[in-house]
Amino acid sequence: MGTVSKALSLLSNFNQSRTEIGLSEMARLAGINKATAYRLLSELQESGFIEQAGTDRSYRLGAEVLRLARLREAAVPLTTASRGILERLAGETHETAHVSIVRGMQLNALAHVYSPKHATRVMMEDAETLSLHATGSGLAVLAFSPDDFIDAVLARPLTRHTPDTVTDPDAIRALLAPIREAGIAESVGGFEAEVHSHAAPVFNSDGAPIGAIAVAAPVSRVTPDRIEIIRRAVLSGAIELTRAIGGFVPECFPQAAAA
């Protein structure tokens, strides 16, 4: 990994619950010594990707991140394009609808919409990291990704989030063929206990998966009749969002199933 990659990799340690990070903690999270962490953080600070704040001079994301995010949104307005689709999915399924985007070899939640139908619902956090191997969204992305990307993801340590998380690479690979045939991935308790998620990939202009759209519900509410409703809604939503951002649905994708 080059110096630039090492420096930028530090940014992945920021999340919704960890918006400011001190030097010692950053070194610990990144698995590097403090001197190296300081040097890399200084380079990021000079470029505006991070800044120091507070009396303890902890680091937080800088203005350059916001500028690039705005440029990205202007070029590929995934968040904006997904809003109406997520609202429709939440309304049709009466469950939590969300969209996520691939970043490196992980998946980040981008936007979500709750249904007002039920007081008990699956809760989401914007920018939450979702495991590619343990979520419906992640499996949907993997199923339509190139072999080298799948190999790279499955060669890494696979976190066991719950007792039902599948962490055996061969077992995960076996799940992908049926997902390609159906266009829909499922995960029952793989990332969060008692949560049943259905997801379908969202494609870019090259027909490559850049993320996924999903509906997540408590296991107790996912009855056979609700499954059919959710599957149709998710599949049609993924195709609609792909087209809305100028993406291309590959011929291998079962578009007819969304009719």
pLDDT in tens, the chain (259 residues): 567 888 889 998 987 778 999 999 999 999 999 999 999 999 999 999 999 987 888 999 999 988 887 777 666 678 888 999 999 999 999 999 999 999 888 899 989 999 999 989 999 887 788 999 999 999 999 999 999 999 999 999 999 999 999 999 999 999 999 999 999 999 999 999 999 999 999 999 889 999 999 999 999 999 999 999 999 999 999 999 999 888 889 888 886 444 4
Question: Which residues, in sequence order, are CB contacts of 160 under 8 Å at separation 6+?
Answer: 167
Please choose, from the candidates 153, 158, 162, the residue with its C-alpha nearest in 3D space to the C-alpha of residue 191: 162
Q: What is the pLDDT of residue 259?
A: 40
Which residues lie across from 185 on neighbouring strands?
Answer: 199
Query: Sign of the CA dihedral 63, 68, 69, 71?
Result: positive
Looking at the fold, whether 45 and 104 belong to one and the same domain comes out as no
**Whether the predicted model's global pTM rises above the 0.95 cut:** no
Q: Show which of 38, 67, 96 is a domain's final residue.
A: 67
Looking at the fold, whether 167 and 41 belong to one and the same domain comes out as no
Angle between the N-to-C axes of helices 136-143 and 169-182, in degrees from 0 to 180, rounded to the nearest 10: 80
Whether residue 133 contacts residue 105, with contact meaning beta carbons closer than 8 Å, is answered with no
**Burial tier of 153 (Cβ tally within 10 Å: 0-12, 13-18, 19+):** buried
Looking at the fold, whether 43 and 124 belong to one and the same domain comes out as no
Looking at the fold, whether 199 and 239 belong to one and the same domain comes out as yes
Whether residue 200 contacts residue 183, with contact meaning beta carbons closer than 8 Å, is answered with yes
Q: Show which of 41, 67, 93 is a domain's final residue.
A: 67
Looking at the fold, whether 182 and 56 belong to one and the same domain comes out as no
Looking at the fold, whether 138 and 12 belong to one and the same domain comes out as no
Q: What is the pLDDT of residue 258?
A: 45
Q: Show which of 67, 97, 123 is a domain's final residue.
A: 67
Q: What is the pLDDT of residue 55?
A: 80
Looking at the fold, whether 82 and 119 belong to one and the same domain comes out as yes
CA gap 229, 191 in Å, rounded: 22
The three-state secondary structure class of 48 is: coil
Q: What is the pLDDT of residue 71?
A: 75
Measure the N-to-C terminal CA separation of the chain; round to a whole number of Å: 45
CA gap 246, 170 in Å, rounded: 34
Q: Following CA atoms 249, 131, 25, 40 in sequence, which dihedral angle do they give, to the nearest 10 degrees?
A: -30
Looking at the fold, whether 47 and 108 belong to one and the same domain comes out as no
**CATH number, domain with residue 200:** 3.30.450.40
Looking at the fold, whether 37 and 85 belong to one and the same domain comes out as no
CA gap 207, 237 in Å, rounded: 16
Residue 158: half-sphere exposure toward Cβ, Cα within 13 Å: 23
Looking at the fold, whether 32 and 138 belong to one and the same domain comes out as no
The total number of structural domains in the chain stands at 2
Looking at the fold, whether 129 and 213 belong to one and the same domain comes out as yes
Q: What is the pLDDT of residue 85?
A: 95
**CATH number, domain with residue 35:** 1.10.10.10
Looking at the fold, whether 30 and 134 belong to one and the same domain comes out as no
Cβ neighbours of 228 (radius 10 Å): 10
Q: Which range marks the domain in which residue 41 is found? A: 3-67
